């Protein structure tokens, strides 16, 4: 049975790849896409979700806009990685798929409460929508199958030396998600840095020859250029689809139990996901932490998903 997921995202180049993997994988049933402010403002991330779905022929998945700002802090965006549009690189035609009238938080609560407990949340942006859904309807805790999120790191950060972007944008929301007693898997930078889109991958995608494949190649071209400048990386790490891959094919992503807590007050370390694998803090594990990626298997899944999609494919 394909696993039902809600993808909560802030597209974003790698968010776009996460949407494609979620819809193109036979192991995933994408029941909804919810958007949040993060890589860019909410109006831009929502437009981008619609652009990606239109380009990929994803017409049967509701897209719901969520929160325009973090719980307590002013919004910080990542134009230095994703450009002014949030999805710079390709030429995007006017999107053809509509936006739902339902707020993302209402959609998340309603979908989970109406489910048989079989819906997994896959947040790959700041955790604002998820924290507000918890506040609005605490009974979702018992009814959510699991939360598999891209965010944090068991090692260093990226937006600051200590903090990963999705967590530092809304650390209070992230703290709420990690301190809630539901099954959480953290797919952080220590894992996603293993998912570099090198020339081998780009050429495989280009060889698919479809308009969607060309769009993805253009996305990776822009993403690669900003990552070179921002972090000196030879190949851009495609973070967000790694969380989807963990749900689709768990064997692609090894995990270890750990206690994870989000630093919200540190002068230099705010937004850090302090990760204790060995029990030094005397706390029981509250999360699974992704550690090792099967890179070849991951890219096989990603390429097959892109090959399966396109304007007339679904």
State in Å, rounded, how far the first CA of the chain is from the last one: 19
Among 34, 39, 45, 120, binds ligand BDR (CB under 6 A): 39
Q: Of 294, 290, 295, nearest to 198 (Cα)? A: 295
Q: How far is the CB of 33 from Ca ion (least distance, A)?
A: 12
Q: Of 72, 77, 15, nearest to 42 (Cα)? A: 77
Among 81, 132, 244, 253, binds ligand BDR (CB under 6 A): 81
Give whole-number Cα distances, 48 to 18, 34, 53, 114, in Å. Answer: 13, 12, 9, 28
Q: What share of the chain is helix, strand, coil (3-state, %, to 5)?
A: 40, 20, 40
Stretch that binds ligand BDR, among 99-107, 160-168, 214-222, 247-255 (CB under 6 A): 160-168
Q: Is 16 in the site for ligand BDR (CB under 6 A)?
A: no
The whole-angstrom distance between residue 259's C-alpha and the CA centroid of its chain comes to 21
The conformation of residue 251, written as its DSSP 8-state character, comes to G
Map residues 12-31 to x or -, x wherever contact with Ca ion holds by CB under 5 A: x--x----------------
Q: Is 150 in the site for ligand BDR (CB under 6 A)?
A: yes
Q: How far is the CB of 207 from ligand BDR (least distance, A)?
A: 26
For residue 14, how many C-alpha atoms fall within 13 Å in the half-sphere facing its CB? 31
Residue least distant from ligand BDR (Cβ): 165
- Annotated catalytic, 239? yes
Q: Is 61 in the site for ligand BDR (CB under 6 A)?
A: no
Among 124, 244, 287, 303, binds Ca ion (CB under 5 A): 124
From CA 19, how far away is CA 252, in angstroms rounded?
18
From CA 151, how far away is CA 141, in angstroms rounded?
20
Among 3, 6, 15, 111, binds ligand BDR (CB under 6 A): 15
Closer CB to ligand BDR, 23 or 166, in the complex: 166
Q: Which residues bind Ca ion (CB under 5 A)?
A: 10, 12, 15, 124-125, 240
Q: Which residues bind ligand BDR (CB under 6 A)?
A: 12, 14-15, 39, 78, 81, 124-125, 150, 158, 164-166, 239-240
């Amino acid at each position: 049975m394909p696993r039902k997921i809600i993808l909560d995202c802030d597209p974003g180049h790698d968010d776009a790849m996460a949407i494609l993997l979620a819809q193109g994988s036979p192991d995933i049933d994408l029941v909804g896409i919810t958007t949040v402010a993060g890589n860019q403002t909410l109006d831009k991330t929502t437009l981008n979700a619609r652009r990606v779905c239109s380009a990929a022929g994803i017409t049967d998945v509701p897209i719901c806009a969520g929160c325009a700002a973090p719980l307590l802090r002013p919004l910080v965006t990542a134009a230095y990685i994703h450009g002014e549009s949030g999805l710079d690189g390709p030429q995007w035609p006017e999107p053809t798929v509509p936006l739902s009238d339902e707020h993302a938080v209402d959609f998340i609560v309603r979908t989970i409460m109406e489910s048989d407990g079989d819906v997994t949340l896959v947040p790959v942006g700041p955790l604002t929508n998820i924290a507000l859904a918890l506040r609005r309807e605490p009974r979702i805790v018992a009814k959510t199958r699991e939360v598999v999120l891209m965010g944090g790191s068991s090692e260093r950060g990226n937006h600051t030396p200590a903090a990963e972007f999705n967590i530092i944008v809304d650390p209070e929301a992230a703290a709420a998600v990690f301190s809630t007693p539901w099954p959480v898997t953290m797919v952080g930078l220590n894992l996603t840095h293993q998912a570099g889109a090198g020339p081998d991958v780009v050429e495989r995608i280009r060889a698919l020859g479809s308009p969607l494949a060309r769009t993805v190649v253009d996305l990776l071209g822009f993403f690669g250029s900003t990552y070179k400048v921002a972090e000196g990386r030879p190949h851009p790490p495609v973070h967000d689809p790694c969380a989807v891959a963990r749900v689709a094919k768990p064997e692609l992503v090894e995990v270890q139990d750990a206690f994870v807590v989000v630093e919200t007050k540190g002068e230099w370390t705010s937004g850090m996901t302090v990760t204790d694998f060995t029990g030094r803090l005397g706390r029981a594990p509250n999360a699974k932490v992704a550690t090792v990626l099967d890179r070849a298997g991951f890219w096989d899944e990603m390429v097959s998903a892109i090959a399966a999609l396109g304007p007339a494919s679904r």
